[in-house]
Amino acid sequence: MGFWYFLTLFIGVFLLFRWISARKNNQANKATLFISVFLITFSLFMFTPWSVQLIDLIFS
């Protein structure tokens, strides 16, 4: 499962850098920023040791 969390993290970082470079050209999109921040936050949350217990508590 860690592979998918790393993949999500790298996709989020890639989108964030893409948004930063598009911002320099005045072509920044707020949806790209929101998605990148969401992916980075989600993957960092899933790397925490207590995320499994929290998700189990929510879905059970």
What is the DSSP code (8-state) at residue 27? -
Alpha helices in 1-60 (DSSP H): 2-24, 30-47, 51-59
Give the torsion through C-alpha atoms of 53, 56, 57, 60, to 10 deg: -160
Q: What pLDDT, in 10s, does the model give residues 19-40?
A: 998 888 777 788 889 999 999 9
pLDDT of residue 35: 94
Q: Is the pLDDT of residue 13 over 90?
A: yes
The Cα 19–Cα 7 span in angstroms is 18
pLDDT of residue 29: 83
pLDDT of residue 41: 95
- Kindly indicate the confidence band of residue 12, based on its pLDDT and cuts at 50, 70 and 90: very high
